[in-house]
């Protein structure tokens, strides 16, 4: 069987187009619910250390810790079982930089919010901050993970050319 250079180029273009479509339609690189679960853990710790009586720590902290461990195992399982994952060589490093920036930004916002709520005289400023941050993370984490996947898809597209 003889394959001409034109046929080979056309076949390669079709393969690359299929790869681009697959990356565009793939789920996010990791589940955004995990980031929310971590913040639920943080908000729960704030609640049990700031609001509840000391004896409640003996119940709340182990329950929250078990919940976080379950979330971590589920996260690892979800990543392992993803049907389509981009190869590490394709993943845009700026996507991971964006995640790192998002983590730093949420940490700084939470500290500023805690200090601000405390200065305003709110009772339980850390707990209020935790609840507000869970809502913020629940709204922004899906956007973040989708953006990371989009950057990776765009990088794969530009590396094909």
Say if residue 133's pLDDT is above 90: yes
- Tokens coding 55: 């004896």
Radius of gyration of the CA atoms of the chain, in A: 22
Question: How far is residue 104's CA from residue 83's CA, in Å, rounded to a whole number?
Answer: 30
pLDDT of residue 8: 80
Mean pLDDT of all residues in the chain? 87
- Tokens coding 21: 């479509």
Say what the pTM is. 0.78
Q: What percent of the chain has pLDDT over 90?
A: 56
86 against 150, higher pLDDT: 150
User: Is the distance from CB of 156 to CB of 90 less than 8 angstroms?
Assistant: yes
Q: What percent of the chain has pLDDT over 70?
A: 91
Element (DSSP H or E) covering residue 90:
none
Question: How far is residue 125's CA from residue 119's CA, in Å, rounded to a whole number?
Answer: 9
pLDDT of residue 42: 94
pLDDT of residue 17: 77
Say if residue 84's pLDDT is above 80: no
64-85 mean pLDDT: 87
Question: How far is residue 39's CA from residue 58's CA, in Å, rounded to a whole number?
Answer: 20
- Tokens coding 79: 């990543």
pLDDT in tens, 13-69: 788 777 777 766 667 777 899 999 999 999 999 999 999 999 999 999 999 999 999
DSSP character for 56?
A: G
pLDDT of residue 114: 96
pLDDT of residue 80: 82
Question: Ramachandran region of residue 87, left (φ > 0), alpha (ψ -120 to 50) or beta?
Answer: beta
pLDDT of residue 99: 92
Question: How far is residue 34's CA from residue 31's CA, in Å, rounded to a whole number?
Answer: 6
pLDDT of residue 11: 83
């Amino acid at each position: 069987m003889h394959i001409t250079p034109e046929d080979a180029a056309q076949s390669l273009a079709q393969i690359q187009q299929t790869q681009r479509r697959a990356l565009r339609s793939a789920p996010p690189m990791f589940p955004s619910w995990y980031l929310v679960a971590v913040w639920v853990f943080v908000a729960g710790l704030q609640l049990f250390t700031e609001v509840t009586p000391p004896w409640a720590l003996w119940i709340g902290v182990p329950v929250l810790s078990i919940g976080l461990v379950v979330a971590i195992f589920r996260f690892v399982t979800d990543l392992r079982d993803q049907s389509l994952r981009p190869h590490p060589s394709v993943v845009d490093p700026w996507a991971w930089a964006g995640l790192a920036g998002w983590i730093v930004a949420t940490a700084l916002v939470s500290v500023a919010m805690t200090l601000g709520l405390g200065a305003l005289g709110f009772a339980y400023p850390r707990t209020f901050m935790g609840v507000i941050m869970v809502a913020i993370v629940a709204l922004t984490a899906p956007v973040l993970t989708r953006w990371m996947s989009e950057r990776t898809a765009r990088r794969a597209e530009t590396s094909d050319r």
